[in-house]
A and B are shown apart, each in its own frame.
Chain A
Amino acid sequence: MSDETQPIIAFENVSKWFGTFQVLRDIDLRIGDGECIVICGPSGSGKSTLIRCMNRLETHDRGVVRVEGVELGPGERLPRELRGKIGMVFQSFNLFPHMTVLRNLSLAPMRNLGMDKERAEQTALAYLERVHIGEQAEKYPDQLSGGQQQRVAIARALCMKPDILLFDEPTSSLDPEMIREVLDVIYELTDDGITMVCVTHEMGFARKVSDRVIFMDHGEIVESAAPDEFFDAPREERTRAFLNQILHYEASA
C-alpha cells in the first residue's frame, strides 16, 4: 500500500443523490498509484456509481474527488488532459457494433492522441495479442463470443495507455464458461503496475489479484482490508453476512 505517498485517486466526503435517493454517503477513499482494488457489495449499494465518479461518467454532489492530482468539485467533468487516461471496461462491453475489432481499437488513439493509422493499428494488434485474440482483428463484434468481446474491450481501453483502468462488473453478463478467460486476462495486467479498480462478485479472483478489498452497502464503505484479512477475518457484521450469502455454495461444496 502506498497511503503515505500522493494517492492517484482520492475521495473526501463525497456524496451523491439520484433524485431523493442517496447513492453515495460521505465516501472517503484513497487509492495509491499501482494499487489493485476490488469493490464488492450487494446490488444497489453504489459500487458502480463510485467508480463512474472516478472517470466522471457521473458527477458527485458534495465533497471533493482528486484524480491524478486534479481536484474535481461537484458537477465537474473530466478535464481535457485526463480524457482517455482513465480507461473503463463495461459490463455490457459497449463495443462499437458498426466497426471491425481493429477499428474499435485504433479509433481513440488516432482521434485523441493523433497517432497515424499505421501506428495505431500496430498498437492495436499488439494489445489484441496480449488478450490472445490477435486473429480476430478483422471481425465485427457480433461475430465474437461474449468472452472475446470483453477481451476486445479490455484491449481497446489499453490502447489509450491509461494510468487507471476501471472495471464495472466485467464478467456479469458473460456465460459461466467464459468468465475464466476474461479474469485471466485481467490478472495478467497486474504485472504492468497499472492502477486497477474492479467492481466484481468473483471472490476467488478478488483474493488472488487485489491489494485491497472494499465492501460497500447502502452507499457507504463498510469495510476496507487486505484480501486475506477481508475474507478470513472480516471485522463487520454486514461484511460477514454478505460473504456468507455469496460464498454459501463454495463453502459447502
Chain B
Amino acid sequence: MISPLSGPWVKRVLSNWIQPAAMAGILVFAVMRGAENINYRWQWYRVDDFLFTSEQGAWSAGPLVQGLFVTLEISVLSLFLTLVIGLAAALLRLSSSVIGRGLARGYLELIRNTPLLIQLYVMYFVLGPILGWGQITTAIACLAAFQGAYTSEIFRAGLRAIPRGQIEAGDSLGLSRIDNYRYVILPQVLRHMLPPLTNEAVSLVKNSSIVSVIAIFDLTTQGRNLIADTFLTFEIWLTVAAIYLVVTLALSTAAAMAERRRAGA
C-alpha cells in the first residue's frame, strides 16, 4: 500500500542488501544451531583479532584485512590488464586481418573451453617457469587472460554499437585513425560499457580467490591458514564469505546506480 519508504533508492538498498542480509542471518543462525548439536563451540569473539589488532591504542590490520588488501591489489591490477587484453582481442576480431581474427578467435575458444583452475596451473607450472614469472605476476596474468576473453565480448558489442557515421565524421574532419579512436570512438564506447565493466570487476574479485592455490596470501589463503591454526572453521569461512560479499555487492550496487543514472540521463 502507500508507504513513505518507497523511493527507488530505498527499494534498491532494501532488495540488494537488507532482505538478503536478513535471510543470510537466519541461515547462519540455523547453521549455528545445527553446529551446536554436534558440539561445535562457537567462538566469534576471537574473530575480531583476525580483522584488526590493536597494540597500545594503535590499530593495525589483522590477517584477514591484510588478505583483503592483497585480493583488491590483484583484482585492480588484473582489471587494468583485462581491459588492455579485452580491447586488443575485440579490435583484432573486428579487424580485416585474417591472422588477427584467427588469433583472437583461438584465444577466446581456448579460454572459454578450459577451467580457470587449469589455466592457472598451466601458467604456474608451465608458462611461469619458462618466462621466469613469480607468483603474483602469474596470478595477475592468469586472471587477466581469463577475464579478458569475456570482456572482449563486451568491447566488441560496444564497438559495434557505435554508428558508422561517427567514424566517417572523424575521418572526414581529417583526424588520424588513432586520434579518431582516442577522441571519438573510445569515449563513446566506454560510456556505454561502464555498467557491464563493473560486473567484470565483480567477477575478477570473485575469481581472484582461486589464486590461493598458488600460495598467494590473499583473503582466501589467510582464511585457510587461520583455520589450520585455530580450527574456527565456520567462524572464519563465514567471515571471509561476508567480506567478499560486501565487496562484490558494493560493486554491483554501484553498477546498478551507474546504469540508472545513464538511463535517467
Contacts and interface: CB of A to CB of B under 8 A. Distances in A.
Direct contact of A and B (CB under 8 A): yes
Interface of A: 17, 19-20, 61
Contacts of A17: 1-2
6 contacts: A17-B1, A17-B2, A19-B2, A19-B6, A20-B2, A61-B1
A19 B6 CA distance: 9
Interface string B1-42: 110001000000000000000000000000000000000000
B3 to A, nearest CB: 9
A61 B6 CA distance: 18
A17 B2 CA distance: 8
Contacts of B2: 17, 19-20
A124 B202 CA distance: 53
A61 B1 CA distance: 9
Contacts of A61: 1
Nearest to B3: A19
A53 to B, nearest CB: 16
Interface of B: 1-2, 6
Nearest to B2: A20
Chain B: interface secondary structure? loop
Contacts of B6: 19
B14 to A, nearest CB: 16
Nearest to A21: B2
Contacts of B1: 17, 61
A222 B186 CA distance: 58
A18 to B, nearest CB: 10
Nearest to A22: B2
B57 to A, nearest CB: 52
A194 to B, nearest CB: 36
A68 B1 CA distance: 28
A176 B6 CA distance: 42
A17 B1 CA distance: 8
B1 to A, nearest CB: 7
Contacts of A19: 2, 6
Nearest to B6: A19
A218 to B, nearest CB: 18
A20 B5 CA distance: 12
B192 to A, nearest CB: 31
Contacts of A20: 2
| Shortest 3 CB-CB contacts between residues of A and residues of B | A20-B2, A17-B2, A19-B6
A19 B8 CA distance: 13
A81 B146 CA distance: 57
B5 to A, nearest CB: 12
A215 to B, nearest CB: 28
A191 to B, nearest CB: 44
Nearest to B4: A20
B118 to A, nearest CB: 41
A19 B7 CA distance: 11
A20 B1 CA distance: 8
A61 to B, nearest CB: 7
A121 to B, nearest CB: 46
A134 B6 CA distance: 51
B65 to A, nearest CB: 43
A20 B6 CA distance: 10
